[in-house]
Structure 1
Amino acid sequence: MKPSDFLLLPAWAAITAAVAIEDLPITRNGSTLLLDNKPWKAVGANIYWLGLDENVSPPFPSSPEEVSTDYYAPLKASYPTKGRITEAMAVVKAMGGTMIRSHTLGVSTGNPLSLWPTGNGTVNDKAFAPIDWAVYQARRHGIRLMVPLTDNFDYYHGGKYNFLRWNGFDLTQQKDERNLAVMAFFNNATVVASFKRYISALLTHVNPYTNLTYADDPTIFAYETGNELCGPVWGDLNVPASWVREIGQYVKSLAPRKLFVDGTYGVNRTHLVIEEVDIFSDHFYPISINKLKADLDLVASVNKPYFAGEYGWLGNAASSDADMVSWYKVLEQSPFVAGDAFWSLFGHNVPDCNSFINHNDGFTMQYGNPSHTTQIKLVRQHFVKMSQNISIGAAEALPSVPCPAPT
């Protein structure tokens, strides 16, 4: 096409012709996610530590008088290196994944290394450095991101208890998890306003690598209300529909092209009518076909997509590969499944490429670890079936990922 030919096209056609795939948003039509008007599946890994980690203690200062600003010992918090982040992106790409769900790209409150160390609204700009790099590297690797905005738990990276404590509720998960007062996170106007200010600070931040705000960058295709949200009883689905609607409206007012995920731990029937919710989700420990099918029946009633947000990649405690194959088959055959993300991916302790990082929950997947190869091949085959990316060649040997991975 000659430059002069653009003069003969409608304005919208000329604009479309110039847009790169990484600049196109993921959209939704009923129960189907679309990229460039073609069906798209969100398959990949949970990599919760991309913005802030709890598994690596950086080298301590050379003398006791020095203070490391990149390690907060009480919560074992540290920033991941650029090399670790880039390797994770390269691994997901090699596995045939299309997306990553990462808690700490959005949940970063309550400790000195957080985006919001305190509730006064002061932003710790240093905390944006690994987040900015992760979003930039995802964009370069063709990976999309799903980002929770808070957490149900009092974790090292923060969550709903930070907002409660900052606004006059002396609550901790350890002593108050079953306290009805935790519902103030959803029902107290001051707490909700504080949470919305945090969302604004996050979404309006400009990434220096892309010159885009997080609201505008389509690399982040979806924001999730939170991770495994519930009320005073574990798994009670007690997240008010009015709160989900309010947060959804607020996110879409800042970022109208983002998809919005209901982060309630399970599919709450009262949320099915919320217009702002694009995707419903649930988590699986252990995997359960019956639970999965029940969830799919619910979302089918409103013709919206379903995302299996977490599942233990080892399957059931005493599973065989056949158990995972059967569960994957349901995901692959349902027209209402938008995708899934296994729990959870770790890599080398880059710049040390000779040692892997381990997490203590028993679900650490390490690409390149020979003891994980059989399961990784199974996961990769599933990703290829879901995304229909036949060019990857799932039956072939796993492609190598160099360490350090090129940026």
Structure 2
Amino acid sequence: MKFSASLAFTLAAAAAAVAAADDVDLRDLPVTREGTHLYLNGTEWKAVGPNVYWLALDENVVPRGRAVLRAQEHQLPPPGPRHRGHAHRQGHGRYHDSRPHHRLQHRLSLSLMPEAGVINEDAWGPIDWAIYQARQHGIRLMVPLVDNYDYYHGGKFDFLRWAGHNLTQAKDATNPAIMAFYEDPDIVASFKSFVTDLLTHRNPLTNLTLAEDPTIFAIESGNELLGPKWGDMNCPAAWVRDVARHVKALAPAKLFVDGTYGVNATHFDVDEVDIFSDHFYPVDVAKLKSDIAKLEDAGRPSSSASTPGPRPPIPLFGRNMPDCNDWVEHEDGFTIKYGDPTNSEAVDARIRLIRKHFTKMSRGEDIEEDEELPVIPCPLEEDAE
């Protein structure tokens, strides 16, 4: 799983049961850690689910009644029927933006923090709705705080630019000056202030702050954080510790995830880190096993995201509610859509493989890989309201 962005509040979902045990609603209980295992109400719990980086700020969907301008304009998804019944089922995607910087700034204006220290109150609507719907369906969310990249929803380059560093990913990805994000005290203070704004926000639909709501089971330091050299894992341990302590002070019941791109063993001494993450594109089984062995020795669990086979990640998008016959398009050439009657057999075979793995990981059940995909009916309009 992974989550990208600080300024758009994007979410990654992990499945959890809604059922109550001993008259206790599991949705009110936090996920806890003991050594290398996670627990919910005393029962071992595994986070299995998709990346939904666009859940609160979608570059693929425009508000109802507007012309579809996916190639030119990105808008906030409206809270309500559009996300009912499909938002929590979406899968892995990543959006690479090569358009001019002024367009990045236009889209940033729709995010949670469009300017340094300025919160866009209108942006809370989709965020609050997404968290509320996740809670209703018993879904847990892992929320990274910032993106390593210069994407449409904002990330570390915005904090750098706000501090006077004229840097963009397109021209400065290997510039050592980007380390100021981790090392400049003023930037670190600005980032921690944003984290405070995020976690102390009270959701009017749940009457809980984000820090209080067990729906958010984990806070990740960021998405694929690194330094100026690809794969360098140069996210300083001192920064990880500082941010982790800040999060724990605000939300002591939350698990903290080290979002460095790769398992950096020098971070094992950061006691506040509960989970380490890594991403594999494509799958690297040897590296995965090596990372797991290191983490077992360190007494920590791991979170990983990958895509099967030697190909880019596959964005899995669903129906564009309320029109159940309309599908959200990601337009990157790798999108797959569950239940789309126009799918090829190869696409449906890949979906069946993903479903088989998800079922085994989340429920411990084995299903046949060639088992027919269940039909997901369109929700009735009254159910979507």
TM-score range, shorter chain: 0.7 to 0.9
Distance apart, 1:358 and its partner CA:
2.3
Residue in 2 that maps onto 1:85: 83
Residue in 2 that maps onto 1:33: 38
| Residues 234 and 109 of structure 1, relative CA distance in 2, 3 Å threshold | farther
Residue in 2 that maps onto 1:346: 317
Rounded to whole Å, the distance in 2 between the matches of 1:225 and 1:212 is: 22
Rounded to whole Å, the distance in 2 between the matches of 1:297 and 1:33 is: 17
Residue in 1 that maps onto 2:249: 253
Which amino acid in 2 is paired with 1:265?
A: Y
Q: What is the DSSP-based 3-state SS (H/G/I as helix, E as strand, rest coil) of the residue aligned with 1:229?
A: coil
Q: What is the DSSP-based 3-state SS (H/G/I as helix, E as strand, rest coil) of the residue aligned with 2:143?
A: strand
Report matched runs for 1:241-320 at 5 Å.
Answer: 241-308=237-304, 310-312=305-307, 314-317=308-311
Distance apart, 1:185 and its partner CA:
0.3
Question: Does residue 1:373 correspond to 2:321, yes or no?
Answer: no
Rounded to whole Å, the distance in 1 between the matches of 2:290 and 2:111 is: 38
1:358-381 C-alpha deviation (Å, 9 max, x unpaired): 224444232112433322222222
Report matched runs for 1:40-51 at 5 Å.
Answer: 40-51=45-56
Aligned residues: 348
CA contact (8 A) 2:200 2:211 kept: yes
Rounded to whole Å, the distance in 1 between the matches of 2:70 and 2:187 is: 26
Residue in 1 that maps onto 2:110: 113
Distance apart, 1:343 and its partner CA:
5.1
Residue in 2 that maps onto 1:226: 222
Rounded to whole Å, the distance in 2 between the matches of 1:173 and 1:375 is: 33
Residue in 1 that maps onto 2:102: none
CA contact (8 A) 1:350 1:404 kept: no
Which amino acid in 2 is paired with 1:54?
A: E
| Residues 18 and 391 of structure 1, relative CA distance in 2, 3 Å threshold | farther
Rounded to whole Å, the distance in 2 between the matches of 1:267 and 1:145 is: 21
Rounded to whole Å, the distance in 2 between the matches of 1:71 and 1:173 is: 25
CA contact (8 A) 2:93 2:316 kept: no
Over alpha carbons, which structure has the higher Rg? 1
Distance apart, 1:394 and its partner CA:
8.7
Rounded to whole Å, the distance in 2 between the matches of 1:55 and 1:124 is: 21
Distance apart, 1:272 and its partner CA:
1.6
Q: Which structure has more strand as a fraction of its residues?
A: 1
1:41-64 C-alpha deviation (Å, 9 max, x unpaired): 1001011110101112446769xx
Distance apart, 1:101 and its partner CA:
8.7
Measured on the aligned residues, the alpha-carbon RMSD in Å equals 3.0
Q: Which structure has more helix as a fraction of its residues?
A: 1
Q: Which moved more, 1:391-400 or 1:164-173?
A: 391-400
CA contact (8 A) 1:279 1:305 kept: yes
| Residues 343 and 131 of structure 1, relative CA distance in 2, 3 Å threshold | farther
CA contact (8 A) 1:196 1:250 kept: yes
Which amino acid in 1 is paired with 2:51?
A: N
Q: What is the DSSP-based 3-state SS (H/G/I as helix, E as strand, rest coil) of the residue aligned with 2:48?
A: strand
Match of 1:358 among 319, 323, 329: 329
CA contact (8 A) 1:205 1:213 kept: yes
Give unmatched runs, 5+ long, in structure 1: 1-15, 63-69, 93-99, 319-341
Rounded to whole Å, the distance in 2 between the matches of 1:395 and 1:38 is: 31
Match of 2:29 among 24, 33, 46: 24
| Residues 343 and 205 of structure 1, relative CA distance in 2, 3 Å threshold | farther
1:255-289 C-alpha deviation (Å, 9 max, x unpaired): 00111111111111111221111111111111111
Rounded to whole Å, the distance in 2 between the matches of 1:391 and 1:237 is: 36
Q: TM-score, normalised by structure 1?
A: 0.78
CA contact (8 A) 1:167 1:191 kept: yes
Q: What is the DSSP-based 3-state SS (H/G/I as helix, E as strand, rest coil) of the residue aligned with 1:352?
A: coil
Residue in 2 that maps onto 1:138: 134
Task: Work out the percentage of aligned pairs sharing the same amino acid.
Answer: 52
Match of 1:236 among 183, 208, 232: 232
Rounded to whole Å, the distance in 2 between the matches of 1:116 and 1:41 is: 32
| Residues 399 and 45 of structure 1, relative CA distance in 2, 3 Å threshold | same
Q: TM-score, normalised by structure 2?
A: 0.82
| Residues 134 and 71 of structure 1, relative CA distance in 2, 3 Å threshold | farther
